[in-house]
């Protein structure tokens, strides 16, 4: 290094410096390489994203939001008995929890489709089927956590309740409490430090028991009547007045507990966004917008899928292991009189999901040369998995090459990333389920700090670059 510096003195680059420039990989901070105009575009795009994430805290709300946007953009619900022509805009809803949106291309799906898939479920606390109980004059709701959470992060902060209840007469009621300024909120209590001597010595995994993640929902008894469970009775009375439900209606409900706060800019420079549920709505929104914003008629049919159940392994009929996506492809393949299997084989997919951004406070779990960083753009992840690439689709060199070339020539700021050190842990995405359908697929998405916590952090530039990446993927004619 010193020798190079000396050679630099006369204003000329040394041979080593020139060679280094042409051969070595460079990492540039996004704000430096992008310039102010693109940064402003990113900031503006993220205002729309913040609005989305505040209104779409559950998979049902995300799907409802996306349908509303799609309808406003001229998309209509897919009808099996209708014929579609190039340029037609359609959407298909799966049980209110997953959504497929598509624009029919000039060649339809004869040569395959271009697909972006993201998930709209996030880690949270689900209400148990028989949840309401009273103990020591407090009313609580039992929960069963959903997805990978650190339990201690969910105590002692404002929480809201979202979901749907199917009543005994078959009618349904939607619930959302804790988001409006005037709404009450809920919480999980935690032990005061003064009495937590034993708790504080426990490993994080054990310090908070799952059965202790009960939600505090009331403390005032029904009138002054005598009898047992008067606090619980009072809560049931309130719920009955507001929603017309009785206790057994909890059995046929999907109620989810999520943080009650809204998305906020993070940092004096407002360069980041802190919010609940970036994973993976921070990729769902760009996937949705890239399709809705598409101008003209694409060569191949372009498709965005918003899936459910990723956080618990993509099982269930709204997750990507379900056949609903395959059935949809079969239905649109029929319009072109082609075999849907050949459509899948020729299709390309961006599995849009987040990756773990390098966190200097926990640097030991990352391989710095193979990590993604905040503000370095959309992250392309060749493989996820754990314990020696177990449980990943591992994108091919050819497909990595295609995507890399596409992003480079369209000036999309991008980086590569791996999910931490090989022995540190790991995880998976939807990519492998797409690969199982014989689709060419790679993971792209936004680097996230504090992933799976109630307050995840992303960079605005990275969100925008993920949108750009999906955008150019859809626009590319081959
Ligand atoms: Mn995810
Ligand atoms: Mn996740």
Q: How far is the CA of 68 from the centre of ligand 1 (A)?
A: 23
Q: How far is the CA of 84 from the centre of ligand 1 (A)?
A: 33
Q: How far is the CA of 279 from the centre of ligand 2 (A)?
A: 5
Q: How far is the CA of 310 from the centre of ligand 1 (A)?
A: 7
120, 102, 101: which is closest to 307 by C-alpha? Answer: 120
Q: How far is the CA of 118 from the centre of ligand 1 (A)?
A: 8
The predicted-structure confidence for 423-432, as pLDDT tens digits, reads as follows 888 888 999 9
Each residue's pLDDT, cut to its tens digit, for the chain (478 residues) gives 444 454 555 678 899 999 998 999 877 677 777 888 989 999 999 999 999 999 999 999 999 999 999 999 999 999 999 999 999 999 999 999 999 999 999 999 999 999 999 999 999 999 999 999 999 999 999 999 999 999 999 999 999 999 999 999 999 999 999 999 999 999 999 999 999 999 999 999 999 999 999 999 999 999 877 889 999 999 999 999 999 999 999 999 999 999 999 999 999 999 999 999 999 999 999 999 999 999 999 999 999 999 999 999 999 999 999 999 999 999 999 999 999 999 999 999 999 999 999 999 999 999 999 999 999 999 999 999 888 888 888 999 999 999 999 999 999 999 999 888 888 888 889 999 999 999 999 999 999 999 999 999 999 999 999 999 999 999 998 7
Rounded Cα–Cα distance for residues 20 and 94 (Å): 52
Q: How far is the CA of 355 from the centre of ligand 1 (A)?
A: 8
User: E-strand spans in 420-467?
Assistant: 426-427, 440-445, 447-448, 456-459
Bond before 432 cis per omega within 30 degrees: no
Domains of the chain: 30-122+276-475 (3.40.630.10), 125-259 (2.30.250.10)
Rounded Cα–Cα distance for residues 70 and 397 (Å): 35
Please count the other Cβ atoms lying within 10 Å of the Cβ belonging to residue 6: 9
Specify the DSSP element, H or E, that contains 165.
strand 159-166
Q: What contacts 138, CB < 8 A, 6 or more positions away?
A: 216, 218, 219, 231
Q: How far is the CA of 453 from the centre of ligand 2 (A)?
A: 10
Q: How far is the CA of 71 from the centre of ligand 1 (A)?
A: 26
Greatest Cα pair distance, the chain, in angstroms, is 94
The predicted-structure confidence for 390-411, as pLDDT tens digits, reads as follows 888 899 999 999 999 999 999 9
371, 378, 349: which is closest to 283 by C-alpha? Answer: 378
Instruction: Determine how β-strand 302-307 pairs with β-strand 114-119.
Output: parallel
Q: How far is the CA of 65 from the centre of ligand 1 (A)?
A: 19
Q: Which ligand is closest to the CA of 451, given by its number?
A: 2
Q: Which ligand is closest to the CA of 118, given by its number?
A: 1
- pLDDT at residue 3, as a whole number: 46
Q: How far is the CA of 278 from the centre of ligand 2 (A)?
A: 9
Q: How far is the CA of 126 from the centre of ligand 2 (A)?
A: 16
**Ion ligand 1 contact residues with beta carbon within 5 A:** 279-280, 353
Q: How far is the CA of 467 from the centre of ligand 2 (A)?
A: 19
């Amino acid at each position: 290094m010193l020798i190079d510096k000396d050679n630099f003195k006369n204003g000329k680059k040394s041979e080593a410096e020139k060679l280094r420039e042409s051969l070595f990989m460079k990492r540039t901070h996004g704000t430096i390489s992008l310039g102010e105009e693109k940064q402003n575009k990113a900031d503006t795009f993220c205002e729309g994203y913040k609005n989305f994430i505040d209104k779409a805290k559950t998979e049902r709300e995300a799907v409802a939001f996306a349908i509303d946007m799609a309808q406003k953009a001229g998309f209509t619900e897919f009808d099996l008995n209708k014929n579609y022509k190039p340029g037609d805009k359609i959407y298909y809803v799966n049980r209110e929890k997953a959504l497929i949106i598509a624009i029919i291309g000039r060649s339809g799906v004869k040569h395959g489709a271009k697909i972006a898939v993201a998930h709209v479920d996030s880690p949270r606390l689900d209400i148990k089927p028989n949840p309401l109980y009273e103990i020591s004059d407090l009313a609580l709701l039992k929960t069963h956590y959903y997805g990978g959470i650190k339990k201690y992060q969910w105590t002692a902060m404002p929480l809201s309740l979202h979901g749907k209840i199917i009543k005994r007469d078959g009618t349904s009621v939607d619930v959302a409490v804790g988001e409006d300024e005037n709404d009450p909120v809920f919480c999980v209590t935690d032990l005061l430090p003064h009495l937590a001597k034993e708790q504080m010595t426990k490993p994080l995994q054990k310090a908070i028991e799952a059965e202790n993640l009960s939600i505090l929902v009331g403390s005032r008894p029904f009138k002054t009547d005598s009898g047992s469970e008067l606090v619980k009775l009072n809560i049931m009375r309130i719920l009955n007045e507001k929603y017309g439900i009785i206790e057994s209606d909890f059995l046929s409900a999907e109620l989810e507990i999520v943080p009650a706060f809204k998305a906020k800019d993070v940092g004096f420079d407002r360069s980041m966004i802190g919010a609940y549920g970036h994973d993976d709505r921070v990729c769902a929104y760009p996937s949705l917008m890239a399709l809705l914003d598409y101008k003209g008629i694409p060569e191949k049919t372009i498709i965005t899928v918003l899936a459910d159940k990723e956080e618990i392994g993509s099982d269930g009929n709204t997750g990507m292991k379900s056949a609903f996506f395959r059935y949809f492809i079969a239905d649109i393949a029929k319009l072109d009189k082609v075999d849907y299997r050949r459509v899948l084989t020729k299709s390309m997919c961006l599995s849009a999901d987040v990756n773990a951004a390098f966190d200097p406070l926990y640097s030991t779990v990352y391989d710095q040369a193979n990590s993604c960083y905040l503000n370095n753009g959309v992250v392309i992840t060749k493989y996820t998995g754990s314990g020696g690439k177990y449980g990943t689709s591992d994108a091919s060199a050819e497909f990595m090459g295609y995507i890399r070339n596409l992003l480079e020539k369209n000036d999309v700021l991008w980086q590569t990333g791996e999910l931490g050190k090989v022995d540190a842990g790991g995880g998976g995405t939807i990519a492998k389920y797409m690969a199982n359908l014989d689709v060419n697929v790679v993971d792209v998405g936004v680097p996230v700090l504090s992933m799976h916590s109630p307050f995840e952090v992303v960079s605005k530039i990275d969100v925008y670059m993920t949108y750009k990446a999906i955008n150019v993927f859809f626009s590319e004619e081959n």
